[in-house]
Amino acid sequence: MVLTDDHHHHHHHRPVEEVLNNNNNNGRGRNVNITASPARVEGKRKAMVVCWFLGIGSLFCWNSMLTIEDYYGFLFPRYHPTRVITLAYQPFALGTISVLTYYEAKINTRRRNLFGFSLFFLSSLMVLILDLATSGKGGIGAFIGVCIIAAAFGLADAFVQGGIVGDLSFMDPDFIQSFLAGVAASGALTSALRIVTKAAFENSKNGLRKGALLFFAISAFFEFLCLLLYALIFPKLPIIKYYRSKAANEGSKTVTSDLVAGGIQMQSPQDQNDDRLSNKELFIQNIDYAIDLYLIYVLTLSIFPGFLSEDTGAHSLGSWYAIVLIAMYNVLDLVGRYTPLINWLRITSRKGLMVATIARFLFIPAFYFTAKYGGQGWMIFLTALLGLTNGHLTVCVLTTAPEGYKGPEQNALGNILVLFLLAGIFSGVTLDWLWLIGKGW
């Protein structure tokens, strides 16, 4: 599982001694007052498991909402629920992450993430309550309610994704990989559940509704689990305390309450963090990584899920087809988030990442022609490949970019990159509307 650290020194735009200083992967960072070697290893496996669950929690709600779209399509046939719900979610996610990234250095990360998971939990319960209160009837009121809940998910998503990626950016790259794998696992899990509920409830009376309620009950359970894990287990793991103390020593002000939760009191550091790069400088130095993430997600979301659920050409799977395609995408997205652990597959060169990202745009003509002339086998294959490249490149970019920076800078950079990821999703979803308008919607 654990990678060797010999591929970490490839940033040419920073003085070598600085990279060596900050890239002390053997754990003897500068002025860290905690015995490094034994504590360093302790709890790594546990931390990776927790990160994985936090990843599931950060997207489970959203995936559940996307996955039960056929229920909403049945409840609100006139309102284009799939696309409208996405449109309720995305601006909130993007707007919130912009504000949070701007103020990142002053924000208490612990409170930020706990707020996000609590909001996820409460909103999942709200979906259930709303459905039970309206006894599963449609209408504009219920639809507006669903849209408001989708907006709350967007808000929570921005708190959690940026917060956790920022937090993990000054730790072990394997933690980010694990978190991102969890994010994809939430998709694979919802897809699997969807197939099971469709098979189980398909023919029963209001089977769709039973499936939908089951989804959000599970969703609420997962969010509650994440809340407990993040609040109680995570801050007490030795390896997490180690990295957070190291970040505090490097001038990070965002980890204070995390350290208190782990039972560590910091001596107030003499303000030596004035030499940290500003967000603008960080952005300029990493502009290519930001563009990579933006382009990865613009492409993915202009095809998936809207194009797949509506423009997929001839097939024999009937109502199963979109579900199978989305499941294929999700499963291979998950696989793709583990492939960077294989050393020779991990792309670390900045040029390589950019080339790979741009090459993915060949998917657009490929999908277009496959939908027009190809069979379902090709469509499933293409969708799987879309997922695989999406997962692989996301992990490559987010684990490579923070290398060689100080704790507070890595935290800021993690937030900046997630901002671009969400911006890409937003643009992709908007482009997805253009497919519709193009068809004379």
Nearest residue to 394 via CA among 333, 352, 325: 333
For residue 311, what pLDDT is reported?
52
How far is the C-alpha of 64 from the C-alpha of 70, rounded, in Å? 11
For residue 156, what pLDDT is reported?
94
Name the strand (E) or helix (H) holding 435: helix 407-438
For residue 306, what pLDDT is reported?
63
Record the tokens describing residue 47, joined without a space: 């931390």
User: 10 Å Cβ neighbour count for 144?
Assistant: 12
Which residue type does 350 have? R
- Hey, what's the torsion of the CAs at 375, 380, 383, 385, to 10 degrees? -110
How far is the C-alpha of 283 from the C-alpha of 142, rounded, in Å? 42
Nearest residue to 414 via CA among 111, 100, 117: 100
The sign of the CA dihedral 140, 141, 147, 150 is negative
What value, to the nearest 5°, has the Cα angle with vertex 339 and ends 334 and 343?
160
Q: Are 298 and 427 in contact (CB under 8 A)?
A: yes
Name the strand (E) or helix (H) holding 284: helix 279-285
Nearest residue to 417 via CA among 390, 440, 395: 395
Return per-residue pLDDT of the chain as tens, 441 residues: 444 444 444 444 443 333 333 433 443 333 344 444 444 557 889 999 999 999 999 989 888 887 777 778 777 777 777 778 888 888 899 999 999 988 877 888 889 999 999 999 999 999 889 888 887 777 788 888 889 999 999 999 999 998 999 889 989 889 999 999 999 999 999 889 888 887 887 766 677 788 888 888 999 999 999 999 999 999 988 888 888 888 888 888 888 788 887 777 766 555 555 577 888 899 999 999 999 999 999 998 888 766 665 555 555 566 677 778 888 999 999 999 999 988 888 888 889 999 999 999 998 888 888 877 777 788 889 999 999 999 999 999 999 988 888 888 898 999 999 999 999 988 888 877 776 665 554
How far is the C-alpha of 398 from the C-alpha of 65, rounded, in Å? 26
E strands in 119-228: none
Record the tokens describing residue 368, joined without a space: 């277009």
How far is the C-alpha of 57 from the C-alpha of 50, rounded, in Å? 11
How far is the C-alpha of 331 from the C-alpha of 7, rounded, in Å? 28
User: 10 Å Cβ neighbour count for 349?
Assistant: 12
The DSSP call for residue 31 is T
How far is the C-alpha of 138 from the C-alpha of 74, rounded, in Å? 9
Which whole-number Å values give the CA distances from 388 to 231, 321, 332, 358, 394, in the listed order? 32, 19, 5, 15, 10
Nearest residue to 217 via CA among 285, 126, 140: 126
For residue 272, what pLDDT is reported?
52
For residue 10, what pLDDT is reported?
45
The packing angle between helices 350-359 and 287-303, to 10°, is 20
For residue 39, what pLDDT is reported?
47
Helix (H, G, I), strand (E, B) or coil at 152: helix
How far is the C-alpha of 416 from the C-alpha of 402, rounded, in Å? 11
| SS3 labels along 69-135 | HHHHHHHCCCCCHHHHHHHHHHHHHHHHHHHHHHCHHHCCHHHHHHHHHHHHHHHHHHHHHHHHHCC
